[in-house]
Amino acid sequence: MSQILELAQSKIWEPTGLSQPDLDKLFSKLGGRDVDYADIYFQYARQEAWSLEEGKVKSGSHSIDQGVGIRAVSGEKTGFAYSDELGLPALVQAAGAARAIAAQGQDKSVNLSPRAGREFPMLYSTTDPLTTMPDEDKVRLLERAEKDARRRDPRVSEVMASLVSVHDVVLVAGHDGRLVADIRPMVRLNISVIVVDGERREQGSAGGGGRYGLDYFSEDRIREYAHEAVRQALVNLEAADAPAGTMTVVLGPGWPGVLLHEAIGHGLEGDFNRKGTSAFSGRIGEKVATEQCTVVDDGTLPNRRGSLSVDDEGTQTQQTILIENGVLRGYMQDTHNARLMGAEPTGNGRRESYAHLPMPRMTNTYMLAGQYDPGEILSSVDKGIYAVNFSGGQVDITSGKFVFSASEAYMVEGGRVTRPVRGAMLIGNGPDVLTRVSMVGNDLELDTGVGTCGKDGQQVPVGVGQPTMRIDGLTVGGVEV
């Protein structure tokens, strides 16, 4: 038995006296000729959060959550029940509820297989990040962030900082004999500042993290985040209103990949395509982008915020090629949608917690590097917008239409980056945008580790990224000139 599985069982099963024979009882309760798939998801999670405002650490919280989610699937119908009690009687009751719901589906049979632990390469440490730094040092870390920001410029009026640590232990058992565990650390530091110059107030933010311990936040890294937050705010102090119209847009590397995530990524998730509600439904093998574009989802990057050694169904993650040289190659799949679509799971079955059903979700989604130097891309633009950071946006999955707000952007005039602009809104259609990509840079960057994705009310950590990218003829909302 693997060390990971032993650790998970000691954390989740031993305190309540559960064992593998108890799983067989639960699967017997779940099984029957009217159920074709069943799984049980155990979770134990600890989270700690600290926040600083007005120069003081004003709040700190610590929570522990544990429970189990039990699923039975019959055709397209899913029965699901969860419990925050891990005693066998509560689990038997939940299993009965899940089976009763699924029993109204198709007439198929679940066959139980001998249960054996499975091992996968670990992409991150099993160390509990909450224990990697004394509480006094956590407070000092936030105070250091605040001081670094204020030292950067006298116009810094307010500094807000937060520090979050999560230790997540999961154990997944399937009717097919699957028994898989994962121990997932997560840390994140975020710094936001407000700068004031006369009547003008602007905000900037920066931060990062990943599947590390708190020692990831070295003094140099904290200073880097603080200075970046102030730099963004100061740029916006000098910004004029962005012009409106159809023009060339250059997206910077890294975090601007959030546009790719929202406008393209969600439309490539299996459930939307199985139901025919995605703009990409039924288009595998078709050209959906220029040859410059190769897009992947990769859950195997070590220590990244969106990475998982195994997904929340116990499937090993992988690099999935979604679009290759402009051609649509595949979708992101969980077990349920893959089965119904005649495809293979891709390790993208994810859930917010034991109280939620898994569904196809992104991990780290990004565009691969191209052939152009970033300077060459910018120098090719006579007049346009250079967007290097985004604050948010909205996307319609069915139509692919999106609206994104650039939090840091510049005019490009005569091949040179000139003045900063504010209020630039990028408006377009996801599938259409990919056909307008004319140049892709050789400077692929991933985000610093701050992404969180929402879908059907569930939140999961993700990663995004891209190289510098030129898009021709994109609508920019701003001020008419």
pLDDT, tens digit (0-9, with 9 covering 90-100), for 408-454: 999 999 999 999 999 999 999 988 999 999 999 999 999 999 999 99
1 — pLDDT class (breaks 50, 70, 90): very low
> How would residue 35 be classed by pLDDT, with cut points 50, 70 and 90?
confident
Quote the pLDDT of residue 481: 47
The structural domains of the chain, ordered by start, are 3-237 (3.30.2290.10), 244-477 (no CATH)
Region 256-267 average pLDDT: 92
Amino acid residing at 344: E
pLDDT band at 30 (very low <50, low <70, confident <90, very high): confident
Q: Could you give the angle at the alpha carbon of 144 between the alpha carbons of 139 and 150, nearest 5°?
A: 130
Query: Nearest-CA neighbor of 98 among 38, 164, 177?
Result: 38
- The CA-based dihedral angle spanning residues 378, 379, 385, 388, taken in that order and rounded to the nearest 10 degrees: 20
Tell me how far CA of residue 141 lies from CA of 23, 153, 195, 226, 359, in angstroms.
Answer: 44, 20, 22, 12, 37
Q: What is the mean pLDDT of residues 30-59?
A: 90
For residue range 301-319, list pLDDT tens digits in order: 999 999 999 999 999 999 9
Q: In this predicted structure, what is the pLDDT of residue 107?
A: 47
State the DSSP string of 92-150.
HHHHHHHHHHHTTS----------EE-----SS--S-GGGSS-HHHHHHHHHHHHHHHH
Of 304, 303, 306, 49, whose CA–CA distance to 164 is shortest?
49
Note the pLDDT tens digit of each residue in 56-91.
998 899 999 999 999 999 888 999 999 999 999 999
Of residues 288 and 109, the one with the higher pLDDT is 288
At residue 234, the pLDDT reads 97
- pLDDT score of 117: 66
Rounded Cα gap, residues 143 and 415, in angstroms: 42
115 pLDDT exceeds 90? no
78 in the Ramachandran plot: left (φ > 0), alpha (ψ -120 to 50) or beta?
beta
Question: DSSP states of 340-361 as a string?
Answer: HHT----S-EE-SSTTS--EE-
Mean pLDDT score, 111-139? 84
* Contact by Cβ (8 Å): 14, 80: no
The type of residue at 276 is: G
pLDDT at 111: 55
Q: Is 21 helix (H, G, I), strand (E, B) or coil?
A: helix
pLDDT at position 480 is 54
What residues contact 171, with CB distance under 8 A and at least 6 apart? 5, 8, 9, 12, 13, 41, 42, 43, 179, 180, 181
The pTM of this model reads 0.94
Residue 159 above 50 pLDDT? yes
The radius of gyration of the chain from alpha carbons, rounded to an integer in Å, stands at: 24
Cβ atoms of 256 and 388 within 8 Å: the answer is: yes
pLDDT given at position 479: 61
Phi/psi at 300 (5° precision): -105, 5
Q: To the nearest 10°, report the CA torsion of 48, 54, 55, 60.
A: -20
CA distance 20 to 376: 60
**Given a cut of 70, is residue 32 above it in pLDDT?**
no
Compute the C-alpha angle 399/349/258, nearest 5°: 45
pLDDT tier for residue 25 given thresholds of 50, 70 and 90: confident
